[in-house]
Amino acid sequence: MYESFFIETYGCQMNVADSELISGMLIKEGLKPSDDIENADIIFVNTCAIREHAEDKVHSRLGFYNKLKKDKPEIIIGVLGCMAQNLKDSILQNKTYVDIVLGPDSYRKIIDLIQNRKKEKLRSIDTNLSRYEVYSDILPSRNKGINAWIPIMRGCDKFCTFCIVPFTRGRERSRSLDSILNEVIDAVDSGYKEITLLGQNVNSYKFENIEFHDLLESIAKIKDLKRIRYTSPHPQDMSEEVINVMNDYENICNYVHLPLQSGSNRILERMNRTYSRERFIDLYFSIKEKLKNVGVSTDIIVGFPGESDQDFQDTISLMQEVKFDSAFTFKYSSRPGTKAANYNDNIDEVEKQVRLQKVIDLQKIHSMYNNRKIIGNIESVLIEKESKKSELKWTGRTESNKWVAFDKKYSHVGDIVNVKINQTSGISLQGDIVTSQEMEIA
Ligand code: 5AD
Ligand code: SF4
Q: How confident is the model at residue 440 (pLDDT cuts 50, 70, 90)?
A: low
Q: Which ligand is nearest to the CA of 156?
A: 2
Task: State the burial class of residue 343 (Cβ atoms within 10 Å of its Cβ: 0-12, 13-18, 19+).
Answer: middle
How confident is the model at residue 328, as a pLDDT? 98
- Give every CB contact of residue 44 below 8 A, 6+ residues apart in sequence: 5, 6, 7, 8, 19, 22, 77, 78, 79, 80, 100
Q: 0.85 cut: is pTM over it? A: yes
**What phi-psi label fits residue 178: left (phi over 0), alpha (psi between -120 and 50 degrees) or beta?**
alpha
**Closest to 140 measured CA to CA, from 81, 180, 109:** 180
Give the rounded percent of residues in the chain with a pLDDT score beyond 90: 89
How confident is the model at residue 90, as a pLDDT? 86
How confident is the model at residue 118, as a pLDDT? 66
> Atom 2 in ligand 2: which residue has the minimum CA distance?
160
Distances, alpha carbon 326 to alpha carbons 83, 195, 264, in Å: 28, 21, 20
Q: What is the position in ligand 1's atom list of the atom closest to the CA of 299?
A: 17
Q: How confident is the model at residue 220 (pLDDT cuts 50, 70, 90)?
A: very high
Distance in Å, CA 377 to ligand 1 centroid: 34
Instruction: Indicate whether 194 pLDDT > 90.
Output: yes
Summarize pLDDT for 102-116 with one digit per residue, the tens: 999 999 999 988 887
Distance in Å, CA 259 to ligand 1 centroid: 10
How confident is the model at residue 439, as a pLDDT? 67
- Give every CB contact of residue 130 below 8 A, 6+ residues apart in sequence: 105, 170
For range 25-51, the mean pLDDT? 95
How confident is the model at residue 304, as a pLDDT? 98
Contact 50, 165 (CB under 8 A): yes
The residue type of 5 is F
Summarize pLDDT for 57-73 with one digit per residue, the tens: 999 999 999 999 999 99
Distance in Å, CA 57 to ligand 1 centroid: 16
For range 312-330, the mean pLDDT? 98
Contact 393, 405 (CB under 8 A): yes
Instruction: Indicate whether 314 pLDDT > 70.
Output: yes
Distances, alpha carbon 79 to alpha carbons 28, 101, 173, in Å: 21, 5, 24
For range 81-105, the mean pLDDT? 91
Give the rounded percent of residues in the chain with a pLDDT score beyond 70: 98
How confident is the model at residue 441, as a pLDDT? 63
Instruction: Indicate whether 119 pLDDT > 70.
Output: no
Helices and strands, number each (H, E), in the chain: 13, 21
Report the mean per-residue pLDDT for the chain: 95
User: To 10 degrees, what angle do helices 240-248 and 277-290 make?
Assistant: 20
Instruction: Indicate whether 442 pLDDT > 70.
Output: no
State in Å, rounded, how far the first CA of the chain is from the last one. 64
